[in-house]
Amino acid sequence: MPRYCLITGASSGLGRELAIQYADAGWQVIAVARSVNALNELHQKHKSIHALPLDLTDTQLFSAAVDQLSQQIPALDLVILNAGSCDYVDATNLPLDIFDRTLALNFQAQVAAVKLLLPLLQQSTEGTLAVVSSLAHLFPFTKAEAYGASKAALSYFADSLRVDLTDSAVRVCLIEPGFVDTPLTQKNDFKMPFLLQVSDAAGRIRKGLDAQQLRIRFPKRLVFSLHLLNLLPYSLRCKVAAGMRQP
């Protein structure tokens, strides 16, 4: 009996690597992203990765695609909501378009994805819904007003969702990575502590999902450092955060 996994943001970075690792492990993978070419190329190399080109912020298109998918597969055993974007902002002239875009993808589209995909997950005897947020929301990072806020909202949503799905067969897993070397971070011009390679990060996610962890946070060194910073008196924590600004 094939196991079906749907991964969003599978055209690059973490999502692409997860798609390859799950395909290599024998899963049938439905790979969602906007870049048709990148998804087709993945399918050429790994026949068990199936391209589902889609802009996740277009709820109507997304809904139609899920209707079609429901005709083709019996259930989804794993959904990894991984698509996301990060743009930094200038606090002296807040770019509202970046806030709209970031919240639309990193939060609203994730809520829509849960609504649309939950029925297929519930068809599985053991469905797992994995939500990729970020450690970023644990600390007020410079220029991250839009990204951090979107991930804070997403983490809260996933935690709260788990509470209300307690009696269902669907398990909710919250994934909060630190820095991973992907196209998303390759544009960063600051030093990223404890940066991980993408294959390492995807491996940690798979291991945590296999172990049915409720929350997957890594690397531990960064988690520990952020916890320590959060133990500081509030005024000192604010000073440390301000000290991280770029000149």
Ligand X SMILES: NC(=O)c1ccc[n+]([C@@H]2O[C@H](COP(=O)([O-])OP(=O)(O)OC[C@H]3O[C@@H](n4cnc5c(N)ncnc54)[C@H](OP(=O)(O)O)[C@@H]3O)[C@@H](O)[C@H]2O)c1
Q: Does 40 bind ligand X (CB under 6 A)?
A: no
What HEC string does the chain produce?
CCCEEEEECCCCHHHHHHHHHHHHCCCEEEEEECCHHHHHHHHHHCCCEEEEECCCCCHHHHHHHHHHHHHHCCCCCEEEECCCCCCCCCHHHCCHHHHHHHHHHHHHHHHHHHHHHHHHHHCCCCEEEEEECCHHHHCCCCCCHHHHHHHHHHHHHHHHHHHHCCCCCEEEEEEEECCECCHHHHCCCCCCCCCECHHHHHHHHHHHHHCCCCEEEECHHHHHHHHHHHHCCHHHHHHHHHHCCCC
Residues known to be catalytic: 147
Least distance in angstroms from the C-beta of 211 to ligand X: 20
Which of 2, 74, 119, 183 forms a contact with ligand X (CB under 6 A)?
183
Query: Based on the number of CB atoms within 10 Å of its own CB, is 83 exposed (0-12), middle (13-18) or buried (19 or more)?
Result: buried
CB nearer to ligand X: pick between 82 and 124: 82
Which of 18, 20, 66, 83 forms a contact with ligand X (CB under 6 A)?
83
Among the listed residues 83, 60, 73, the one whose alpha carbon sits nearest the alpha carbon of residue 130: 83
CB nearer to ligand X: pick between 124 and 182: 182
Least distance in angstroms from the C-beta of 245 to ligand X: 20
Least distance in angstroms from the C-beta of 182 to ligand X: 3
Residues 219-238 contacting ligand X, CB under 6 A: none
**Cis amide bond preceding 247, omega within 30:** no
CB nearer to ligand X: pick between 33 and 66: 33
Q: Which stretch binds ligand X (CB under 6 A): 28-36, 159-167, 219-227, 235-243?
A: 28-36
Q: Which stretch binds ligand X (CB under 6 A): 33-41, 65-73, 204-212, 234-242?
A: 33-41
CB nearer to ligand X: pick between 66 and 124: 66
Which of 28, 40, 57, 123 forms a contact with ligand X (CB under 6 A)?
57
CB nearer to ligand X: pick between 70 and 185: 185
Spell out, one character per residue from 106 to 125, where the chain touches ligand X: x when CB under 6 A holds, - when not.
--------------------
Residues 132-151 contacting ligand X, CB under 6 A: 132, 134
Binding site residues, ligand X, CB under 6 A: 8-15, 33-35, 38, 55-57, 82-86, 105, 132, 134, 177, 179-180, 182-185
